Every structure is written in structure tokens, then in C-alpha cells.
Amino acid sequence: MTTLAVLFLFIGLIAGAIGSVAGLGGGVFFVPSLLFFVNQYHPGSMSPQVAVGTSLIVIAVTALSSSLSYLKQKRVDTKIAWLFFFGSTPGAITGVYLNTLLPVETFSLLFGLFQLCMFALIMAKDRMKPHSIHWDVHHRFVDSEGVEHEYGYSRWTAILVSYLVGVCSSLFGVGGGVLMVPAMLILFRYPPHIATATSMLVIFLSAVVGSTTNVLHGHVDWLFAAMLAPGAWAGGKLGAFAAARMKGRTVVMVLRVLILGIAIQMIGEAVLK
């Protein structure tokens, strides 16, 4: 158990830091880690539903830690974050109930396919030109290099996107950032730093809702959440600090490889069972 605690402290730190920099929350690391390592030490003790519920608790810790730092850096658009949260809340509740209907093999396959889709989206987003759409709200932002960015959003489009993000957040325990950030970058032309920082605040709010529902269903292992949380908190702070001083291209490249690896692993497990 001591070895597992040290391992999860390290996983929480790395996942929290990378998740904070990229605005993804870290769930792509927490769920597979819980399913693999816990079941290695205690076979059959960690179900997909409990892994997702525990992951969301830790995601909330990571997102709160990084959001507090990003708010101090004035990189969070709080008005838009609350709008996205309004749409993601019913989605998060829907995702929890859908999660209870999935057997282990189906969960692994869907999770893997979901990750493959996110890998493809992240690979394509740098090559995709922003779409010209009607925006209800327009904003301008000048970054630290003096470059002016114009971005905005359509309220109903934002609510629809955030609803889907909320469903995926609770269903797969990934925090929703893997959909939220690409949507903000591609659909609404957000500057990357504003997108990732705002995403972390939305992830925190959505994870709190999803976690509350999971707690009511008994889908949280508090011992393993406590093992991951300290590292996740420190990682969230570290990621926000690093994001203010570096470009995220290298981190995104690492994430692409890790997401693809996790997808292949989960699909392989589902096929072999």
C-alpha cells in the first residue's frame, strides 16, 4: 500500500501539471492509472464506475488548484466559464447515469474509441482554419507578445458544446477539457492561454457536480482519491506556473502520444476480454 501511495503521489503530480498546462484536467491519466495499478495490487477491486468517480474528485482538486493560479494571472474569462458551466451541468448528471449502464468490456472499448477521437481532433486542430460563424458576443485580447486576438461565441452553440463536454466528463472521467479546449480554439477562436485557463475553471465546476452525483451513488474510493489529491494539487499549481512561461506545443505533442497509447491499451483490453 505504501508503494501504491508513492506511485499515486507521483502520478497526481505529473497528471496535474500536464492537465493544467493543456487545460485537460488530468482525467486521461487518472482513470487508466486507477484501473491498472489498483487491480494489479488488488485484483478486481477497482471497477470502471469507481475509477471514474474517484478520478472526478481528483480532477476537481487539480482544477481548483490551477484555477486559483490562473485567476491571479487574470487569464480566466469568468463570464464565459459560467455560461459553459450552465450547459455542462445537466450533461455531467446525464453522464453519471449513462456510466451505471456500462459493463466493463463496453466501458473499456468506448473509452478507447473516445480517446482515439480526441487524438484525431488534437492532431487536426493545428491544421484546421477557424470557421466563420455568427458570434453573439465578441471579445478582444492582447497577449504578452502584443498580438491582438479577436474571439467570441454564440450562446446556444456554447451551451450545446458544453452539454456534450459535461456528458463526456462524467461518463469517461476525463474532465471534459479534451473537448472544451479544441472547441474554444477552433469554433470560438480563443487565444490558447485564455482557452486553457477558462477550461480549467469550467472543469472544476463540472467536476464538483459530477463528483456529488458519484458520491451519492457510492462510486468514489476515498482512500485512492486521498493518495492522488496531494500530487494533483501541487501539479495544478506547477502547471499554471509553467504555462505562464512556456508554449504548450511540446506538452501537446506528449499528450498526443500518451492519449494514443492509452486508447490502444483500453481497446486492446476490451477485445481480449
Chain segment 161-191, per-residue pLDDT in tens: 888 877 876 676 565 777 787 778 777 888 8
Q: pTM of the prediction?
A: 0.79
Find the length of the chain. 273
pLDDT score, position 134: 63
pLDDT score, position 6: 92
Cα separation, 138 vs 161, whole angstroms: 18
Mean pLDDT across 69-97: 86
Mean pLDDT of the chain: 81
Determine the 3-state secondary structure of 269 from DSSP: helix
Query: Which residue would you say has higher pLDDT here, 66 or 196?
Result: 66
Q: Name the grid cell of 32.
A: 487508466
pLDDT score, position 257: 75
- The Cα-based distances of 187 to 23, 24, 154, 197, 199 in angstroms read 16, 17, 10, 17, 14
Beta carbons of 203 and 177 less than 8 angstroms apart:
yes
Cα separation, 51 vs 33, whole angstroms: 9
pLDDT score, position 226: 95
pLDDT score, position 131: 53
Determine the 3-state secondary structure of 215 from DSSP: helix
Report residue 94's pLDDT band, with 50, 70 and 90 as the boundaries.
Answer: confident
Report residue 249's pLDDT band, with 50, 70 and 90 as the boundaries.
Answer: low
Cα separation, 29 vs 16, whole angstroms: 9
Q: Is the pLDDT of residue 70 over 90?
A: yes
Question: In angstroms, how far apart are the furthest CA atoms of the chain?
Answer: 55
DSSP summary character for residue 131: P
Beta carbons of 112 and 271 less than 8 angstroms apart:
no
Enumerate the domain spans of the chain: 2-272
Q: Is the pLDDT of residue 132 over 60?
A: no
